[in-house]
């Protein structure tokens, strides 16, 4: 009996003791002192490799860890010196010469040179990297073709290249194709292309192949290399027939083609970029994170040390070498990224915070709780139901930025194939109700694709009755728009005396505010136009699939600009573009967008884009609804944090205001704002070694 | 005993295989893929990405590659960034693959980082559930029908009826915004685990208190307890030495399902309290179509639940010698 009880007791003690030991051992070492600045960054970042990320949370970390050739003014986003301290632009806007600063260093002390940029850009473009944002470099000469170099697809596909032509065959040679590749500058549909492949063709024919002409060479072949002839030939005979350079190795292909891409380090400090056509926003792109450099030696070391594994060792906190204002100290997935000031950064004396914690928290209420209890200093969104309570506070100041909320319309489904119907639907959206009753943060009603705030852009709008910005005469204007809509429907043969309008399905991804907006719109359409609208919500990835296959009537959409230029919006709707997703296409539109890309005069270029957008707003494959505002809730003591049109924020410039500076700031703000606690060091945290960094003068432009 | 373990192991292998196979094909049959995003990828980039992760292979081949142990990838690891070929791969070789969403991590690394945190949270929740549940149950049984009993049973009913996220909200209001005792969310110290542990353990504490009460009442009315009282043993000793042992057997039975419940229940709690455990990956990976991570976490949970049930079965023999595993 006693022994039995002992066993029981022992088991219980063992269990409890085990649990306690486990707990202590797990928790020990997990604790970190609070960083100088802590912010919530939304979802966990998908990577710390600038070449394989896209997304706002990732961007914030990239702007801390890395720096591109240029950086951005936190207010205007105008280019500031970065790794390049000056640059020259040729008069035709094609050639950029960047001079890398003498004190540019990697965080391990290695000098950072122009060659690092050349290598990093090659890596971004390389098909093996499969970077989502490789297209940000396609403005470079031949860069697009380089991205489309066929990957080594094993035994399935073999390739041979010379300067203009390619031969592609499968392992047994039963299918041989000959064509011109993307670097040749030839379109496969040109007559000159056929001449270019004659020599190769003759060799293959002489070796016994019988090549037939391809009746429909396709210029839109994704490799940029439509094939012109096809036939068959035994593989050994074929390989014997082809003169060198015979290039089975991907590495050898790189050596042949990389020199043709317009990115060249002419010496350690000079980086020359040749663009395919003048790109006025190119200096903004060079500060964008995909174009930031990565440390070649670490990357190659990891490749050799850990062959054939999925481990990405060069990016682990022990090994990652970066060149930005901060370095990576530690990282725990779904928890935090701890950044530490990089003492080797060229402008380190103007970086205030010694440590920054970047937290991965997705839950609206959780992040607000953390902010309200002082655990974090900045959160980037506000739970929708709390907006009215947050609005009067001094730490919540929504500002417009380049984001558009709109509905895509499937222009091939009746009755939406009639542009009068689309126009009627676009007019009959009560944008005031959506902005004021649902969104509530001061969103602006939108009648165009591009939102307001694009410098110098003569933004067109779809035809509608104008109203005052404070909505005082909105109802009358909206009533007139509804009359016009009814007239348009009647003209299209619908409504009283005409056909009944088939019901329309509004498709959106599952979310409360999307549903509310869809309900308001469906309701208005029913009341004003007698159009039946059903709602269909889908889980995010299913919704994307539906949208990509254009299997909807009307589908909720949004677009956030990549860079402050209308091109980032207008470019979406070129015929067949992968982000078009409406089935709409207009040759004149495509032509205008293409000629804008070639135009070197900035004013004329913007006029061309505006003309294109006007076509879009006349045909309306989209129903514009409102433009976005930011929802930052930020500790009032934070300095160096400014609203801007991209809602981009750069940790390099942040600092804690002293009590005096905070008082000064509060004196300047509207008196009816509710003051909130502003925790932080009362004496401020900023090394006032130089002038405020954002007032540095920019580069020289010739 | 050996025979029992061998049988259980066989079933374990079968169960795991079924879980892997069914979830693999279910996962891949859901619409949308890991690389679909609002900003569509260029078709060539998408093709390159898919090629890197073998998503361009027929599904059966992807399945064989995933399960392993033979590496079917004859392209060599050129694409992964190395030059030696790796003969073995897949689940059978202990490799759960790369995460599609968190590109810097393999699934093994993600689990290694997050599982201890979930275990810590689960341990705290379990401690709360056992300590609170058993004490409340015993009190209820001792003061049967009294105010204490009524109060305890009321709290227990509430604990069972309320979902843990509601309890979490109440706890946050009371102990963060009311009494400023604990941090509202995050991870780093034991203090961070108190509220989530309590919220997660509460429903289980409620169940345990009910089970304890019933078990105790049954035991307390039995002859040997009456005999002990009649012998003049002090009530404390009767309780500790004779009643608890029998009264707690149902609780032990419940510990297996409770552990499983705490593990899977932690996903909501981890989200509310921003705790970087495995639970949040369970949901997010499915939403992200992060096939490998979703599979990895599913496998992990299968193994854990199975193993814990086994431990509970073994614990029976320790507590009640009448139970014979060979026959059971």
Residue pairs between chains A and B whose CB atoms are closer than 8 Å: 212
Residue B65 phi, psi (nearest 5) = -65, -40
Question: What integer pLDDT is reported at residue B80 of this predicted model?
Answer: 45
Least CB-CB distance to A366: which of B30, B48, B185? B185
Question: What integer pLDDT is reported at residue B86 of this predicted model?
Answer: 63
CB-based contact, A130 to chain B, within 8 Å: yes
Question: What integer pLDDT is reported at residue A369 of this predicted model?
Answer: 93
Is residue B136 located within the same domain as residue B248? yes
Span of A46-50, A191-195, B121-125 with lowest mean pLDDT? A191-195
> How many other CB atoms are found less than 10 A from the CB of residue B257?
15
Question: What integer pLDDT is reported at residue B20 of this predicted model?
Answer: 95
CATH number, domain with residue B286:
1.10.3720.10
Is position B104 within any domain?
no
Identify the domain boundary among B61, B93, B125. Answer: B93
Is residue B230 located within the same domain as residue B151? yes
Q: Let me know: does A286 contact A89? Beta carbons within 8 Å.
A: no
Is residue B162 located within the same domain as residue B64? no
Is position B110 within any domain?
no
Is the pLDDT at B261 greater than 60? The verdict is yes
Report the pLDDT averaged over residues B207-231.
87
Is residue B125 located within the same domain as residue B248? yes
Taking the CA atoms of residue A475, residue A477, residue A478 and residue A484 in that order, the dihedral angle to the nearest 10 degrees is: 150
Mean pLDDT of chain A: 87
Question: Chain B: residue nearest A20 by CA?
Answer: B123
CB-based contact, A155 to chain B, within 8 Å: yes
**Burial class of residue A369, CB neighbours in 10 A (0-12, 13-18, 19+):** buried
Is residue B121 located within the same domain as residue B85? no
Return the closest-CA partner of residue B118 out of B262, B292, B307.
Answer: B262
Is the pLDDT at B328 greater than 50? The verdict is no
Residue that the structure tokens 């119907």 belong to: A421
Is position B173 within any domain?
yes
Write the ipTM: 0.89
Is residue B241 located within the same domain as residue B154? yes
CB-based contact, B91 to chain A, within 8 Å: no
Is the pLDDT at B11 greater than 60? The verdict is yes
Is residue B263 located within the same domain as residue B137? yes
Span of A21-25, A583-587, A635-639, B203-207 with lowest mean pLDDT? A21-25
Question: What integer pLDDT is reported at residue A590 of this predicted model?
Answer: 94
DSSP-assigned states of every residue in B205-269: HHHHHHHHHHHHHHHHTSHHHHHHHHTT--HHHIIIIIIHHHHTHHHHHHHHHHHHHHHHHHHHH
Q: Let me know: does A134 contact A309? Beta carbons within 8 Å.
A: no
Is position B217 within any domain?
yes
pLDDT tens-digit profile of A417-467? Answer: 999 999 999 999 999 999 999 999 989 999 999 999 898 999 999 999 999
Span of A285-299, A541-555, A616-630, B152-166 with lowest mean pLDDT? B152-166
Task: With CB atoms and an 8 Å threshold, state whether A222 touches B44.
Answer: yes
User: B238 Cβ partners below 8 Å, 6+ apart?
Assistant: B225, B228, B229
Q: What is the 3-state secondary structure (H, E, C) of B52-71?
A: HCCCCCCHHHHHHHHHCCEC
Question: What integer pLDDT is reported at residue A8 of this predicted model?
Answer: 66
What distance in Å separates the CA atoms of residue A251 and residue A246, rounded to the nearest whole number? 12
Chain B residues with beta carbon closer than 8 angstroms to that of A23: 120, 123-124, 190, 193
Return the closest-CA partner of residue B207 out of B267, B276, B253, B263.
Answer: B253
Query: Into how many domains does chain B fold?
Result: 2
Sheet architecture: strand order including A622-629 = A444-445, A622-629, A400-409, A554-560, A504-509, A533-538
Tell me the pLDDT band of A222, cut-offs 50, 70 and 90. very low
Question: What integer pLDDT is reported at residue A156 of this predicted model?
Answer: 57
> Which residues sit opposite A328 in a β-bridge?
A339
Is the pLDDT at A701 greater than 60? The verdict is no
Identify the domain boundary among B37, B62, B93. Answer: B93
Is position B68 within any domain?
yes
What distance in Å separates the CA atoms of residue A461 and residue A282, rounded to the nearest whole number? 27
What distance in Å separates the CA atoms of residue A550 and residue A540, rounded to the nearest whole number? 15
Read off the tokens for A31.
Answer: 């604790």
Q: What is the CA radius of gyration of chain B?
A: 25
CB-based contact, B53 to chain A, within 8 Å: no
**CB contact residues (below 8 A), chain A span 553-612, against chain B:** 558-559, 578-579, 581
Q: Which helix (H) or strand (E) holds A71?
A: strand A70-72
CB-based contact, B61 to chain A, within 8 Å: no
Tell me the pLDDT band of A690, cut-offs 50, 70 and 90. very low
Is residue B134 located within the same domain as residue B194? yes
Chain B residues with beta carbon closer than 8 angstroms to that of A223: 44
Residue A88 DSSP code: E
Question: What integer pLDDT is reported at residue B85 of this predicted model?
Answer: 52
Return the closest-CA partner of residue B108 out of B299, B305, B296.
Answer: B296
Is position B298 within any domain?
yes
Residue that the structure tokens 């299918």 belong to: A175
Write the Ramachandran bin of A402: left for phi over 0, alpha for psi from -120 to 50, otherwise beta.
beta
Longest dimension (CA), chain B: 86
Read off the tokens for A91.
Answer: 């008069």
Question: What integer pLDDT is reported at residue A239 of this predicted model?
Answer: 77
Report the pLDDT averaged over residues A221-235.
70
Question: What integer pLDDT is reported at residue A246 of this predicted model?
Answer: 53
For chain B, give me the number of helices (H) and strands (E)? Answer: 13, 0
Is position B140 within any domain?
yes
Is residue B163 located within the same domain as residue B302? yes
Report the pLDDT averaged over residues A462-481.
93
Least CB-CB distance to A332: which of B77, B113, B190? B113
Report the pLDDT averaged over residues A146-166.
69
Is residue B145 located within the same domain as residue B270? yes
Question: What integer pLDDT is reported at residue A462 of this predicted model?
Answer: 94
Q: Is A326 helix (H, G, I), strand (E, B) or coil?
A: strand
Report the pLDDT averaged over residues B83-107.
81
Is residue B214 located within the same domain as residue B274? yes
Dihedral sign of CA atoms A180, A186, A190, A194 in order: negative
Is residue B273 located within the same domain as residue B303? yes
Is position B100 within any domain?
no
Question: What integer pLDDT is reported at residue A247 of this predicted model?
Answer: 53
Domain limits at B61? 2-93
């Amino acid at each position: 009996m006693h022994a039995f009880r002992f066993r029981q007791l022992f088991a219980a003690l063992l269990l409890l003791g085990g649990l306690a030991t486990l707990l202590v051992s797990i928790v020990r070492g997990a604790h970190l002192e609070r960083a100088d600045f802590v912010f919530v960054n939304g979802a966990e970042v998908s990577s710390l490799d600038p070449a394989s990320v896209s997304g706002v949370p990732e961007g914030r970390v990239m702007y801390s860890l890395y720096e591109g050739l240029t950086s951005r003014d936190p207010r205007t986003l105008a280019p500031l010196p970065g790794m390049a301290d000056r640059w020259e632009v040729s008069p035709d806007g094609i050639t950029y010469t960047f001079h890398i600063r003498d004190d540019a260093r990697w965080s391990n002390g290695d000098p950072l040179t122009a060659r690092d940029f050349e290598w990093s850009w090659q890596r971004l473009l390389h098909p093996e990297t499969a970077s989502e944002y490789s297209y940000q470099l396609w403005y470079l000469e031949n860069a697009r073709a380089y991205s489309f170099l066929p990957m080594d697809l094993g035994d399935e596909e073999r390739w041979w290249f010379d300067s203009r032509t390619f031969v592609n065959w499968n392992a047994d040679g039963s299918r041989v194709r000959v064509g011109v590749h993307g670097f040749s500058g030839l379109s496969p549909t040109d007559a000159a292309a056929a001449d270019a492949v004659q020599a190769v063709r003759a060799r293959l024919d002489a070796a016994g192949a019988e090549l037939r002409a391809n009746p429909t060479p396709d210029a839109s072949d994704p490799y940029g290399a439509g094939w012109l002839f096809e036939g068959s030939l035994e593989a050994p005979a074929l390989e014997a027939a082809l003169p060198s350079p015979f290039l089975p190795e991907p590495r050898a292909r790189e050596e042949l083609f990389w020199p043709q891409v317009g990115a060249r380090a002419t010496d350690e400090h000079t980086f020359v970029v040749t663009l395919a056509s003048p790109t006025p926003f190119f200096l903004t792109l060079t500060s964008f994170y995909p174009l930031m450099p990565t440390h070649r030696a670490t990357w190659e070391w990891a490749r050799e040390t850990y062959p054939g594994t999925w481990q990405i060792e060069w990016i682990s906190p022990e090994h990652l070498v970066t060149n930005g204002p901060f370095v990576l100290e530690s990282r725990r997935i779904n928890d935090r990224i701890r950044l530490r000031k990089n003492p080797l950064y060229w402008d380190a004396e103007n970086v205030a915070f010694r440590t920054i914690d970047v937290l991965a928290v997705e839950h609206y209420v959780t992040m607000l709780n953390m902010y309200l209890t002082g655990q974090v200093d900045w959160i980037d969104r506000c739970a929708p139901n709390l907006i009215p309570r947050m609005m009067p506070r001094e730490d919540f100041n929504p500002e417009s930025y380049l984001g558009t909320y709109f509905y895509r319309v499937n222009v091939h489904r009746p009755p939406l194939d009639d542009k009068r119907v689309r126009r009627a639907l676009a007019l009959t959206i009560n944008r005031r109700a959506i902005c004021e009753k649902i969104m509530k943060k001061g969103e602006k009603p939108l009648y165009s694709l591009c939102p307001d705030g694009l410098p110098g852009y003569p933004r067109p709008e779809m035809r509608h009755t104008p109203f005052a910005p404070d909505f005082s005469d909105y109802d009358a204007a909206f009533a007139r728009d509804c009359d016009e809509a009814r007239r348009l429907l009647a003209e299209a043969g619908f409504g009283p005396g005409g056909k009944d309008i088939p019901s329309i399905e509004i498709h959106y991804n599952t979310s409360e505010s999307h549903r509310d907006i869809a309900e308001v719109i469906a309701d208005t359409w029913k009341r004003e136009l007698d159009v039946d609208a059903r709602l269909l919500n889908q889980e995010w990835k299913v919704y994307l699939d539906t949208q990509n296959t254009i299997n909807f009537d009307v589908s909720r959409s949004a677009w956030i600009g990549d860079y402050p230029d209308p091109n980032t919006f207008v470019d979406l709707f070129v015929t067949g573009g992968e982000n078009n997703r409406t089935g709409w296409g207009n040759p004149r539109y495509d032509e205008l967008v293409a000629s804008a890309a070639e135009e070197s005069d900035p004013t004329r270029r913007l006029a061309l884009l505006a003309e294109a957008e006007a076509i879009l707003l006349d045909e309306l494959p989209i129903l514009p609804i409102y433009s976005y505002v930011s929802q930052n809730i930020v500790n009032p003591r934070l300095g160096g944090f400014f609203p801007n049109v991209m809602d981009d924020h750069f940790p390099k410039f942040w600092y804690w205001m002293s009590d005096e500076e905070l008082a000064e700031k509060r004196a300047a703000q509207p008196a009816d704002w509710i003051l909130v606690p502003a925790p932080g060091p009362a004496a401020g945290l900023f090394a006032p070694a130089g002038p405020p960094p954002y007032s540095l003068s920019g580069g020289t432009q010739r | 005993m050996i025979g029992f373990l061998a049988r259980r192991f066989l079933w374990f292998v079968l169960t795991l295989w079924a879980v892997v196979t069914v979830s693999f094909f279910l996962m891949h049959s859901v619409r949308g893929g890991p690389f679909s995003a609002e900003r569509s990828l260029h078709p060539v980039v998408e093709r390159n990405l898919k090629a890197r992760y073998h998503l361009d292979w027929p599904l059966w081949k992807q399945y064989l590659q995933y399960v392993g142990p033979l590496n079917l990838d004859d392209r060599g690891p050129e694409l992964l960034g190395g030059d030696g070929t790796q003969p073995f791969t897949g689940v059978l070789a202990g490799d759960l693959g790369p995460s599609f969403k968190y590109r810097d991590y393999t699934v093994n690394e993600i689990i290694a980082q997050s599982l201890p945190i979930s275990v810590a949270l689960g341990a705290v929740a379990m401690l709360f559930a056992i300590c609170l549940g058993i004490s409340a149950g015993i009190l209820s049984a001792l003061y049967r029908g009294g105010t204490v009993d009524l109060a305890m049973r009321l709290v227990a009913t509430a604990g069972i009826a309320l979902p843990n996220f509601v309890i979490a909200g109440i706890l946050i209001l009371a102990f963060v915004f009311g009494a400023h005792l604990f941090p509202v969310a995050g991870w780093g110290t034991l203090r961070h685990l108190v509220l989530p542990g309590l919220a997660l353990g509460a429903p289980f504490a409620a169940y345990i208190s009910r089970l304890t009460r019933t078990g105790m009442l049954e035991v307390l009315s039995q002859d040997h307890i009456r005999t002990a009282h009649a012998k003049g043993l002090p009530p404390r000793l009767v309780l500790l030495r004779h009643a608890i042992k029998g009264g707690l057997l149902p609780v032990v039975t419940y510990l297996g399902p409770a552990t499983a419940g705490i593990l899977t229940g932690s996903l909501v709690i981890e989200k509310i309290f921003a705790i970087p455990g495995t639970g949040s990956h369970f949901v997010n990976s499915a939403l992200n179509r992060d096939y490998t991570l979703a599979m990895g976490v599913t496998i992990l949970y299968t193994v854990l639940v199975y193993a814990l049930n086994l431990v509970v079965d073994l614990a029976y023999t320790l507590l009640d010698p009448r139970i014979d595993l060979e026959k059971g």
